[in-house]
Amino acid sequence: MSTVLINCGPIVHVDSNVPITGQDMLDDKWIIAKGEAIVIEDSQIKDIGNSLEILDDYQSHDSNEVNIIDVYGKAIIPGIIDSHTHMVWGGDRSREVRWKQQGNTYSDIANMGGGIVSTVNSTRSLSEADLYAIAKQRMMHALKNGTTHIETKSGYGLDTKTEMKLLRVAKQLRDDNITPSVDSTWLGAHAIPDNHTLDSYTEEIITQQLPHVAEAKLARSADVFCEPGWFGIDESEQILKAAKSHGMNLRMHIDEFSDGGGGELAAKLRVDTADHAHYTSEENRDKMTKAEVSTGFLPGTPYSMGSDWPDFNSMIENNHLWTIATDFNPNNQILSMPFVASCIVQRCGVDPLAALVASTINPSFTTPHPTGMRHGVIAKGAVANLNILNSKHWESWCLTPGHSPISANILNGQYNNYEY
């Protein structure tokens, strides 16, 4: 079955074989002028070319074999990649917003019985089927907002049994063809569970949890919440090195609340991406760049926590490689990549094209598509994941923070229409 999109508006293809950095992030060469058509066969982009010529070729085909869709000049962007989320958990931490407003910090709230460990308690009590149903609904919301691929982490189990349960749910989501594709990460080192010390839990992670996870091949990568007060540099290094010895890829949470030196460790271990990285020093950012470590900014977190913003534009000026992602989690329930892009574009002066590069092609290198095909680009041979916007202007992709800018999208060649 083929789908042909005709009369496309501007197409932002971002078709690059390497991540895009510096002033290249703002270059109009990534945009094809209006009037083109996109041909999709099964789950792959087959051709991009002149609308009239392609229409000529396909008009004579049997309508059961070809679905011709007139886009009426609407702008088209690639399927968006959300490269850092926590999708699988249950419970509700809404009451923490008032605790925060009363002056309690993130760690105060953890000590008051809220925070990560409270989500762990609610998550442990839910069945696999319940968790799957909850996470699937979240994934479908993300898809309506343009996300076609999601990296998701465990981390609300904090014991072998529950971490494995969360990773099995992620696998179920991965095998499900109607939700965005899934790249699964094990985050056993997310917090210290009750009745453990940092040392005893680090030991348990390395000797018990990790071998189970690695043997079951349920996660492509391992992640650690490396932050003063959670996992320090030494524990993070031990856990990540152990994960590497089991053949896993590495990711990190670093410098969310202060500069704890996680950037230096990220560079030393050459992890794929070090995320949050809000308070990372310029010296450590340079080390990360030299080691080809991507910085994963999570603008929803400062938005939800009411803190200031990192300096995104200095990343462009200094040619650092960076991405953005939602960090959807119980403390930051944002499933919309266009919303987090709006934060950096409308609040921090980042060019909307740079924000799109940071949401598509750049994260495609830290979270590959499960088929091995290219994604996050509109190019021949790439997976057929793309978004048709409501507007003829591609910039609109991140300018409607209260609602989705997407009129329809294509996921693995499958057309979903959201117009009503």
Residues of this chain that bind ligand NIG (CB under 6 A): 115-116, 119, 225, 253, 256, 301, 327, 329-331
Q: Of ligand NIG, Fe ion, none, which one sits near residue 271, judging by CB under 5 to 8 A according to partner kind?
A: none
Which of 347, 348, 356, 345 has its CA nearest to residue 322?
356
Which residues, 6+ apart, have CB-to-CB distance to 363 below 8 Å?
81, 82, 83, 151, 273, 294, 296, 323, 325, 376
Report, in Å, the least distance between residue 342 CB and ligand NIG. Answer: 19
Among 327, 350, 369, 390, interactor with Fe ion by CB under 5 A: 327
> Exposure string (b/e) for 230-248, b if CB count within 10 Å is 16 or more?
bbbbebbbbbbebbeeeeb
**Cross-strand bridge partners of residue 38:** 5, 48
- In the complex, the smallest distance separating the C-beta of residue 119 from ligand NIG, rounded to whole angstroms, is 5
Q: Is the dihedral of CA 361, 257, 154, 208 positive or negative?
A: positive
Q: Is 202:231 a contact under the CB 8 Å cutoff?
A: yes
Residues with Cβ within 8 Å of residue 372, at least 6 apart in sequence: none
Buried-state track 59-82, b at ≥16 Cβ within 10 A, e below 16 = eeeeeeebebbebeebbbbbbbbb
Asked if 287 contacts 267 with a C-beta cutoff of 8 angstroms, the reply is yes
The token duo for 346 is 């409308």
C-beta closer to ligand NIG: residue 225 or 394: 225
- In order, the DSSP letters of 173-231 are HHT-TTSPEEEEEEEEETSPPTT--HHHHHHHIIIIIHHHHHHHT--SEEEEEESTTSB
Q: Binds 179, which of ligand NIG, Fe ion, none (CB < 5 to 8 A, cut-off by type)?
A: none
Closer by beta carbon to ligand NIG, 21 or else 329 = 329
Least distance (Å) from Fe ion to the CB of residue 325? Answer: 9
- Give the residue with the Cβ less far from ligand NIG, 86 or 174: 86
- Rg of the chain, C-alpha, whole Å: 21
Nearer to ligand NIG, 74 or 276 (CB): 276
* Closer of 330 and 368 to ligand NIG (Cβ): 330
The answer to whether residues 418 and 404 touch, using CB atoms and an 8 Å cutoff, is yes
Cα within 13 Å of Cα(195), Cβ side: 3
Nearest approach in angstroms of CB 235 to ligand NIG is 15
Residue 225: which of ligand NIG, Fe ion, none does it interact with, CB under 5 to 8 A by kind? ligand NIG
Q: Examine residue 227 and tell whether it contacts Fe ion (CB under 5 A).
A: no
Pick between residue 235 and residue 327 the one whose CB is nearest to Fe ion: 327
Scanning 4-12, 135-143, 200-208, 327-335 for contacts with Fe ion by CB under 5 A, the matching segment is 327-335
CB of 286 to ligand NIG, least distance (A): 24
Of the pair 253, 375, the CB lying nearest ligand NIG is at 253
Burial of 346 (0-12, 13-18, 19+ CB in 10 A): middle
* Distance of closest approach, residue 109 Cβ to ligand NIG, in angstroms: 9
Nearer to ligand NIG, 120 or 384 (CB): 120
| 74-82, 112-120, 172-180, 319-327 -> range binding Fe ion (CB under 5 A) | 319-327
Counting every residue, how long is the chain?
A: 420
In whole angstroms, the minimum distance from the beta carbon of 329 to ligand NIG comes to 4
Size of the site for Fe ion (CB under 5 A): 1
**Nearest approach, Cβ of 106 to ligand NIG (angstroms)?**
7
User: In this complex, which beta carbon is closest to ligand NIG, that of residue 106 or of residue 365?
Assistant: 106
- Binding map of Fe ion across residues 298-317, x = CB under 5 A, - = no contact: --------------------
- Give contact residues for Fe ion (rule: CB under 5 A): 327
